[in-house]
Amino acid sequence: MKFRRNAFSIGASCCASIAIICLLLSFSHAAQAQRLSDNVIPSHYSLEFTPDLKAATFSGFEVIDVNIKAPTNVITLNAIELKIGNVEIDSHDGGAQAGSVSLDPEKQQAALTFAKNISAGDATLKIHFTGILNNELRGFYLSKTAKRNYAVTQFESTDARRAFPCFDEPALKATYDIALTIDAGDTAISNSAIASDTPGPGPGKHTLVFATTPKMSTYLVAFVVGDFQCTRGEQDGVALRVCATPDKVALTPFALDVAKFALRYYDHYFGIHYPLKKLDLIGVPDFEAGAMENFGAITFRETDLLLDPKTASIRSQRNATLAIVHEIAHQWFGDLVTMKWWDNVWLNEGFATWMENKCTGAMHPEWEIPQFVAADEQRTLNVDAQPTTRAIRARADTPEEIDQMFDSIAYNKAGAALLMVENYLGEETFRKGVHAYLAAHEYGNATAEDFWNAQTEVSHKPVDKIMESLVAEPGAPLLKFGPPGEFGVPAGGQVPVAQSRFFLSPGITPDPGQKWTIPVCFKAGAKKQDCQVLTPSSPSLSVPAARVFFANAGGNGYYRSAYAPAQYAALVAQVETSLTPEERISLTGDEWAQVRADKATVGDYLDLVAALRSDPSSDVLSNAIENVSVIKNSVASTQEERNAIAAWIRQTFAPVYAQLGNASASDTSNQRALRAYLFSILASAGKDAALKAQARQIADQYLSAPASIDPGLGQIALSIAAKDGDAELFDKLQKIYETSNDPELQNTALRQLVLFTNPELLERGLEYSVSPKVRNQDSARLFNTAMRIPENRDATWNFIKTHWDQVQAEFTTEMGSYLVDGTGDFCSVEARDDVKNFFAAHPVPATNSTLRHALEHIDGCIELRRLQEPNLKKWLAAQGQ
């Protein structure tokens, strides 16, 4: 799943009658482990559904083939928010017998009890059930447009049980026959192709029967119902479709081209042909995550699938491409081979995150994906430097615990760890290890040990020790390098190195016993590296003779580096001539980390940014300047200081922006991104009056004719114009959101409505966010966006507190954590206490981890200001600001 939710919320009730058991179960925060017994193993499901899209209900019947290991008269499986009717079991020697149902609300389980023992061996369960098409964006749920309703499924991680009683654990794989009886004018899409389409039963209905699926986990089952229309294609014998609601089908060709490339790329990379006969990509009007890798039927939030490359920004095209190829990678790594349990979900998500970057980079080398990856890793390292971070592999038993495993650690840190190991082994050796792992576990389940043991066997290198270290230890190491030759050997010999866990806060003392086994790659030339394994007992490493001493060649290492003063000075002096863009990103990230840890000053960091001011890479410059904005908004506490930083920004970057000149049709993607970013930083953080005025002109042009201007520049100009915007602009954006058929333009317009700093217009934007006009997939994200704007933060927080009933009514599984996360940008003791006390009195389900991170972020800002504001004052005085 792409950009998976990280919160979990359930609310329902229980009731019973003589004929029907009502499974409207509620979840308890105190729930214990919810694992099923291994005595009953499913092998095949036959599922029949009849949804009523107008009434928002469905009925179902299932036949489950199971194998029973030891005689029993009780079979326990998962079910929630279903009404179960008749239950029957037919065993090979005991005949058929009816059963009764009892519930365990905390465990989301239903125990089927039979009068006589069921013998060991094969048996068949038959269950009738009904349910509600909910509006929670999980299970079997209702999605709406202005014209009609749709029925959609979303089962990861533990929500298949909301659509049909099942053995809802990833290791309990089975095959599926799925049939849907739907309105005659509608169609349905499921994991496999349609095998038959027959009229009835009943007038105005038809029944679609789908071919038997491969063996797969319950969370990968999918079916959608509605008037979807599709663009078709084919790649290497696989039938491809990209499907959407009728008004958006014209936006499907972009995704079809991406899917064709990805299928061929992955067939070659994995050495295993795509395992199904067809692959559908479906844009869904209401969808909580970014996308979901259902085997053969991937579902997407519309903005991650449907776009017009003539009017879409490079950023939107890149993000959609990453989402599409991420999910297609899952067809092998996650669907074909699945983790045994959710503690190893990083095997799915970390690998797909790493793979999406490889595939996208191969398809679009002009997008400079390695630089994008290096910049993203800096943010992940900072998240991992908080005391409440977790290890990549962590225990998760309950639905709430499982759901919170889908975070930046499972995706980004795990992906970065895989990149580091691939860089150490070499691309081809690593690929062979991946193939060996997949081939050994096709249509089965595997553990982390299975993966790294395959890599160790293929490479004959200590991948098992490296991966165990990376997966088991929370946080990331700081490697402190002494000067080469400190042991009396010349440069090119040994360098002393000490490792410890890195924390952003200087007030935390790391455990001296926490050490890693990791590859450290030294720069050995323009495109050369020398990699060695650092162990907990290593006092030094060999250093290659090179023009510059840099201990993270290619920026591929997942660790922080600190150098002796002379070494660091030499790096800064040669930053533009001796380091690659990825290495420059790594260096600036390390220096900012040193500032956060009070081992360097903000002045040191700003001097480094000044040295990079003419850098030709948009990723290098944006990564560096991102923290200048942090200094302006978090370290500076007075308007005078912020004005001085704004003046320095104009003085430093206005000449660079002017040198770029006007936009040209021959501009590269990087040049377009660089121009847009410099425009943004100068007009927004730099308060350049001329550019702010120009922003409104560019924004108006973008809104009236998106294809007439670089969309990236147009969207940035629109955000700048909105902050100082008037009612006329607000009304125009609101109308675009409500009437446009372009998901990117809709989303862009909606997001601007909470950027207006005019108090009355901001209030309108916040009220609109909780109105029926805004989908619940978007509501909390808007509050998160508004909280990121310093001028709007207090008013937004006050609105949330005074309109709490309306705000929380919009929460779905994920959305509560988005809102809680947005409170982490405050920077005072009073605000921290207010946030803490409010959520203590108004708890948001499954956001305890998010709240801890938010409060930690506030404390970090308070500490950063206290330690670094005096340094900022000195530096500004020295600059004459």
CA-closest candidate to residue 653, choices 684, 630, 631? 684
Structure tokens at 476: 């990331």
**First CA to last CA distance, the chain:** 48
Residue with tokens 């501009």: 667
Could you report the per-residue pLDDT of 143-186, keeping only the tens digit for each?
Answer: 999 999 999 999 999 999 999 999 999 999 999 999 999 999 99
Q: How far apart are CA 842 and CA 819, in angstroms?
A: 13
DSSP string, 643-679: HHHHHHHHHHHHHHHHHH-S--TT--HHHHHHHHHHH
Contact 855, 836 (CB under 8 A): yes
pLDDT confidence of 22, banded at 50, 70, 90? very low
pLDDT tens-digit series, residues 807-825? 999 998 788 999 999 999 9
Query: Residue 128's CB: how many other CB atoms inside 10 A?
Result: 16
pLDDT for 471-494, tens place per residue? 999 999 999 999 866 544 345 588
**What would the pLDDT profile of 227-278 be if each residue is shown by its tens digit?**
999 999 999 999 999 999 999 999 999 999 999 999 999 999 999 999 999 9
Cα dist from 653 to 609, 668, 678, whole Å:
10, 20, 7
Q: Is the separation of the CB atoms in 479 and 499 below 8 Å?
A: yes
Alpha carbon distance 734, 746 (integer Å): 9
Please state at what angle helix 448-459 crosses helix 345-363, rounded to 10 degrees: 50
pLDDT digits (tens, 9 = 90+) for 81-134: 999 999 999 997 878 999 999 988 889 999 999 999 999 999 999 999 999 999
* Enzyme catalytic residues: 327
pLDDT in tens, 2-18: 653 332 222 222 333 32
Q: Is the dihedral of CA 336, 341, 342, 344 positive or negative?
A: negative
> 623 and 860 in contact (C-beta within 8 Å)?
no
pTM of the model as a whole: 0.95
Question: What was the pLDDT predicted at 34?
Answer: 79
Structure tokens at 790: 């310093």
Query: Minimal CA–CA distance to 743: which of 304, 242, 319, 314?
Result: 304
pLDDT tens digits, residue range 410-442? 999 999 999 999 999 999 999 999 999 999 999
Tell me the DSSP string of 596-611.
Answer: HTTSS-HHHHHHHHHH
